[in-house]
Amino acid sequence: MSANTDKKPQEAAVTTKKAGGMGLAGMKLSGLLKPQAAAEESALKELELSLIDEDPHQPRLEDNPGFRPEMIAEIGTTIKDRGVKTPISVRENPDKPGHYIINDGARRYRGSKWAEKNTIRAIVDNDFVPDDQVVANIQREGHTAREIAKLIAQRMASGMKKGEIAKRWGKSPAYVTQHAALNNLPPVIAQAFDSGRIADITLVNELLTAHKAKPQEVADWLADESQEITRGSVKLLREFLEEGTDRDPNTVDAFNGKTDAENDEDGEGDQDPGDSGRKKTPKEPDPTKIKKAIVQVEINGDLCRLIQTKRPSETGLAYFKNEISGEEFEADLTTAKMVALVEG
């Protein structure tokens, strides 16, 4: 009998077993993946933007603040620098084979188009119902203003400038400045903000400006718990506090580009020629002159004013303030249509 046939059955089984550590040789490790993870991996695609359409039944209307051109530009700026970090969700378009409809991510989609991208990361999810979009929008609360202020403080402590933070986040410098102010509020304003009496960051900054000039008056005004803090009431407060105060000699004339002090030095003001010893005599007001010009423009249907005291980030841009919401933003001058020149 041969040596092979002399081996016992169990010995033969042992000798045919190949070395492989824990015995995993030849095993397909992909089989250990969770079915859900594998499905998600296969559903993630890099899709051509031209193959994607927005949902015609998108629950957010076209005039939603999140769809405003300046907001899409902010998103587009970050996408241009960093790409889309969170894939959008799409479903197959039953009416156009090979095309898709957006479930969630319309702003990232628009931002990618603004950034002139050709593709976007997307997860194909055909298990979709209309309420999915509503739930996503309602639950997307994001950071609170205090959290944003704390993050800005952390970035600045690490050496970043406000302009760098604004660029990194795709926000305007005004956005960063207004939120950073929350880190150093006077106690009376901080208490009103923390208690929920003030929810608008713009109002916080308006009150902060007023407080710097008239701290006690602002404190007394805020001490009245029955006082509603709205855009209208804060505007009236500032007008009341500014009433009777002298015009700032550093105010720039919109027409000749000189301050009031410079106009006085040029002799436009008020002394009789050749008699420097006399006091200045008031001149009759010229009804054709505007002391403080406000340039009102229309941008995307909204009435705004040109902010002449803020330096834009580059030539061709300017800062504007929405006359209704009070929001300050930077935009291309070509998008602004001048509608009025009024006296402030």
How many Å apart are CA 146 and CA 179, to the nearest integer? 8
Q: Cβ atoms within 10 A of the Cβ of 104, count?
A: 22
Q: Name the residue ranges covered by the structural domains of the chain.
A: 38-139, 145-242, 248-266+289-344
- The pLDDT assigned to 189 comes to 92
Question: Whole-prediction pTM value?
Answer: 0.41
How many Å apart are CA 145 and CA 182, to the nearest integer? 8
Residue 253: pLDDT above 60? no
Secondary structure, 3-state, 31-84: HHCCHHHHHHHHHEEEEEHHHEECCCCCCCCCCCHHHCHHHHHHHHHHHHHHCC
Q: What is the edge-to-edge ordering of all strands in the sheet holding 337-343?
A: 328-332, 317-322, 302-307, 293-299, 337-343
How many Å apart are CA 327 and CA 202, to the nearest integer? 7
Q: Are 302 and 322 in contact (CB under 8 A)?
A: yes
Which carries the bigger pLDDT value, residue 7 or residue 250?
Answer: 250
- The pLDDT assigned to 120 comes to 95
Q: What is the edge-to-edge ordering of all strands in the sheet holding 52-53?
A: 44-48, 119-124, 88-92, 100-104, 52-53
Average pLDDT in the 223-243 region? 84
**pLDDT tens track for 145-176:** 888 888 899 989 999 898 888 888 878 888 88
Closest CA to 180 of 155, 211, 206, 143: 155
CATH fold for the domain made of 38-139: 3.90.1530
pLDDT band (50, 70, 90) for residue 194: confident
Domains 145-242 and 248-266+289-344 belong to one CATH topology: no
Q: Which helix (H) or strand (E) holds 175?
A: helix 173-180
Return the CATH number of 145-242, one of 3.30.70, 3.40.50, 1.10.10, 3.40.640. 1.10.10
Max mean pLDDT among 75-79, 267-271, 292-296 falls in 75-79
Mean pLDDT score across all residues of the chain:
77
CATH fold for the domain made of 248-266+289-344: SH3 type barrels. (2.30.30)
Average pLDDT in the 166-192 region? 88
- The pLDDT assigned to 39 comes to 46
Q: Are 84 and 16 in contact (CB under 8 A)?
A: no
**pLDDT tens track for 58-116:** 777 787 778 889 889 988 988 998 889 889 999 999 999 999 999 989 999 999 999 99
How many Å apart are CA 307 and CA 186, to the nearest integer? 26
Beta bridge partners of 88: 122
Average pLDDT in the 119-141 region? 76
Average pLDDT in the 294-316 region? 86
Q: Alpha carbon 184 to chain centroid distance?
A: 21
Average pLDDT in the 301-314 region? 86
- The pLDDT assigned to 118 comes to 94
pLDDT band (50, 70, 90) for residue 29: very low
